[in-house]
Chain A
């Protein structure tokens, strides 16, 4: 039985990140996962997992000590050791780091031998994930499958977006918003991931609508509106025959993301908790992204204004618990908005 440890390394500077990666990977049975944007990492915190983490002290937006505090606030991660890669300064207060739950502090320039000695010791102290050859082969197969799943869903989300004349990353952003809400609602890691992937297909049913309807500018007639609303059922029908739980969740979201908490939504006019939770979460994420994006008929709203809209409509259009969860995750939401902007015309020309 050989232990196998996953080390999460977060440093906003790519050179330092690459160096830490090289140093750690010299240890047999240690694998690394690298992140250069701590806020984007936090936006997906519901899915973050590691045995041991190394955070740089100084990073823009959020420092390593605060990042450690946030990670340790997640019960699943509370006992996982964190090493802080700090600056040279001798007067720097290590107390704050220790208080935030940092297990060890190393100063720059980090000595490779020292780093490996410390993380080996910490890894032994947690002493977990003892995996034999067969278990490791299985784990590696499962991670490959998960990677494939990511690719299928990302590509399908993009295809659905093109058909819907979404120029940017609406579908992928919306999936991430759903994962933030799910995490804030206390849902488990697998559910956060499933929602992030499945929510990207919420509008796939629009592929079954006529071009003339999708490209129409201006107000829709009553009949056109009814036809447009059918994209929920069409999407559900496209996805619901699948055996895969992820596709079945996507079907659920496609069908229910336009239901309203007060029972006046479509297609089934479900009310309150009769609406499946995935649909209630997706409704908040979808509307927020539409408001903060530029559309042919409107400019992009600021994050604050869009949040106010959600709050004003909690209990009518939206599940109040989902809106509250969205509000709690505002920092992560802001990071997603910043990191995944829609391409403007210049960007498209350059592509």
Chain B
């Protein structure tokens, strides 16, 4: 099973799913700080890294190496939390300590697909930066 990095769609429409996937306050704070282009670059980088991370995760699952699986999930959680991908961060917490099988991989792939679209600007804005 090979993971393909999805195309990033910055001009996506608002979907009800966005609010479930992204932490709006975090996203707006990042947008205010690094700009639209910076945010897009970060999300692109995040997805570009996924094939490597998933390969490492699958190899560790196959080798029954719980420690490496845990470390890979922790790394994923860190990046997800920085980017405001709240549902992905929550999923990594759930998956830590679960049985070592490929359902971990499948659930992450499904969640990553939901993180493909960057929510548009019309999400509620956070307060101005001090």
Which residues does A use to contact B, with CB under 8 Å? 12-16, 18-19, 22-23, 26, 56, 58, 60, 87-88, 108-113
Residue from the list B33, B71, B78, B83 in contact with A87, Cβ < 8 A:
B78
Question: Mind listing 21 A-B residue pairs with CB under 8 Å?
Answer: A12-B75, A13-B75, A13-B79, A14-B49, A15-B45, A16-B78, A16-B79, A16-B82, A18-B45, A19-B34, A19-B42, A19-B82, A22-B33, A22-B34, A22-B38, A56-B78, A58-B71, A58-B74, A87-B78, A108-B81, A112-B30
Report how many A-B pairs have Cβ atoms within 8 Å: 60
Which residues of chain B have C-beta atoms less than 8 A from A22's C-beta?
Answer: 33-34, 38, 42
CB distance from A248 to the nearest CB of B (A): 43
Q: Indicate whether B4 reaches chain A with its CB closer than 8 angstroms.
A: no
Q: How far is the CA of A13 from the CA of B49 in the complex (A)?
A: 9
Which residues of chain A have C-beta atoms less than 8 A from B75's C-beta?
Answer: 12-13, 58, 60
Hey, what's the 0/1 contact readout for B25-45 against A, CB within 8 Å counting as 1?
A: 010011001100010011001
CB–CB A60/B71 < 8 A: yes
Which residue, B26, B81, B84, has most C-beta atoms of chain A within 10 A? B81
Which residues of chain B have C-beta atoms less than 8 A from A58's C-beta?
Answer: 71, 74-75, 78
Q: Indicate whether B130 reaches chain A with its CB closer than 8 angstroms.
A: yes
Which residues of chain B have C-beta atoms less than 8 A from A18's C-beta?
Answer: 41-42, 45
CB distance from A339 to the nearest CB of B (A): 15
Residue from the list B33, B34, B42, B74 in contact with A15, Cβ < 8 A:
B42
Which residue, A13, A22, A113, has most C-beta atoms of chain B within 10 A? A13
Q: Indicate whether B122 reaches chain A with its CB closer than 8 angstroms.
A: no
- What is the predominant secondary structure among interface residues of chain B facing chain A? helix
User: Taking CB as reference atom, which chain A residue is nearest B68?
Assistant: A60
Within 8 A of A (CB), among B2-59: 26, 29-30, 33-34, 38, 41-42, 45-46, 49
Q: How far is the CA of A26 from the CA of B32 in the complex (A)?
A: 12
Which residues of chain B have C-beta atoms less than 8 A from A16's C-beta?
Answer: 78-79, 82
Q: How far is the CA of A108 from the CA of B30 in the complex (A)?
A: 13
Given A87-B74, A87-B78, answer yes or no on A112-B29 (Cβ-Cβ < 8 Å): yes
Q: How far is the CA of A69 from the CA of B26 in the complex (A)?
A: 32
Which residues of chain B have C-beta atoms less than 8 A from A15's C-beta?
Answer: 42, 45-46, 49, 79, 82-83
Which residue, B29, B79, B84, has most C-beta atoms of chain A within 10 A? B79
Which residues of chain A have C-beta atoms less than 8 A from B71's C-beta?
Answer: 58, 60
CB–CB A113/B130 < 8 A: yes
CB–CB B82/A112 < 8 A: no
CB distance from B53 to the nearest CB of A (A): 9
CB distance from A26 to the nearest CB of B (A): 7
User: Taking CB as reference atom, which chain B residue is nearest A59?
Assistant: B75
Given A15-B83, A108-B81, A109-B84, answer yes or no on A23-B74 (Cβ-Cβ < 8 Å): no
CB distance from A154 to the nearest CB of B (A): 26
Within 8 A of A (CB), among B62-112: 71, 74-75, 77-79, 81-84
Which residues of chain A have C-beta atoms less than 8 A from B81's C-beta?
Answer: 88, 108-109
Q: How far is the CA of A23 from the CA of B81 in the complex (A)?
A: 16
User: Taking CB as reference atom, which chain B residue is nearest A20?
Assistant: B82
Which residues of chain B have C-beta atoms less than 8 A from A113's C-beta?
Answer: 33, 129-130
CB distance from A278 to the nearest CB of B (A): 39
Q: How far is the CA of A113 from the CA of B26 in the complex (A)?
A: 12
Which residues of chain B have C-beta atoms less than 8 A from A13's C-beta?
Answer: 49, 75, 78-79
Which residues of chain A have C-beta atoms less than 8 A from B26's C-beta?
Answer: 109
